[in-house]
Amino acid sequence: MLKLDKRDLEILSVLAKEGRLSKADLAKRINLSPSPCWKRLERLEKAGIIEGYAAKISLKNLAPHVTVFVTIELEHHRTEYFQKFEHVIRDCEEVVSCWAIGGGLDYLMQIVTRDIDAYQRFIDGLLDRELSVVRYFTYVVTKPVKQTATPPLEHLLTGLMGTEHSEENAEKE
C-alpha cells in the first residue's frame, strides 16, 4: 500500500472535486511547486489510487430518465453462477453501478433508463437469460438528496496518516 502524506491527501481532495483543474493550478492550490506536485500526481496514478478523470454529467439537464436501484438474489450460490451474472452485468449499459453485497441479498445495482417501461424491459431481458435470479426488488429514485463522487478521504485515512512522518508531525517536533 502506498504511504500517503498530507500533500497527497490535498491533491486527492482537490482532484476529487475539480478533476479538470490544470496541473499548474493544482500545484498552486496545494501550495507546492509544479514539479514536485506533478511527481506526486504521477505516483498516485501509477499506484492506481487515481483511476481516471471524468466529467460529471447532469442527466436532468440532458434527457428524461429514471434511476432505479435493484437488489438481486440468486437461487444458486456457487461461483459459476456469480461469475455468469457478473459477466452479463458488465456488458449492460443501463447498469451504471453494481456491487456484490452480503446480508441475505447478493447484488445491488444502480440502473439508469429512459423510463419505467425501459427499465422493465431490461429486467425482463435479464430474467430471460437464465442467470439464476430468484428474486429482485426495485427501488425507484424519486429525487436525489445527495450525490458525490468525493469519498471522505480525511476520515478514511485518519488512522493511517497518524503513523506517517508528515510535515505536520515534523513541525510539532
> Which residue is it, cell 425482463?
124
Q: Who wins on pLDDT, 2 or 94?
A: 94
Pull the grid cell for residue 165: 512522518
Rounded distance between C-alpha atoms, residue 22 and residue 15, angstroms: 10
Pull the grid cell for residue 56: 460529471
- Quick one: pLDDT at residue 47? 94
Rounded to two decimals, the pTM is 0.78
Model confidence over 160-172: pLDDT tens digits? 554 443 444 333 3
- Quick one: pLDDT at residue 20? 87
Rounded distance between C-alpha atoms, residue 8 and residue 132, angstroms: 44
Model confidence over 83-106: pLDDT tens digits? 999 999 999 999 999 999 998 899
109: β partners: 70, 98
For the chain, the structural domain boundaries read 1-55, 59-140
Q: Read off the pLDDT band of 173 (50, 70, 90).
A: very low
64: β partners: none
Compute the mean pLDDT over every residue in the chain, rounded to the nearest whole number. 88
CATH 1.10.10.10 is held by the domain 1-55? yes
Question: What number does CATH give the domain 59-140?
Answer: 3.30.70.920
| CA distances from residue 102 to 17, 71, 73, 108, 151 in whole angstroms, order as listed | 30, 11, 11, 10, 21
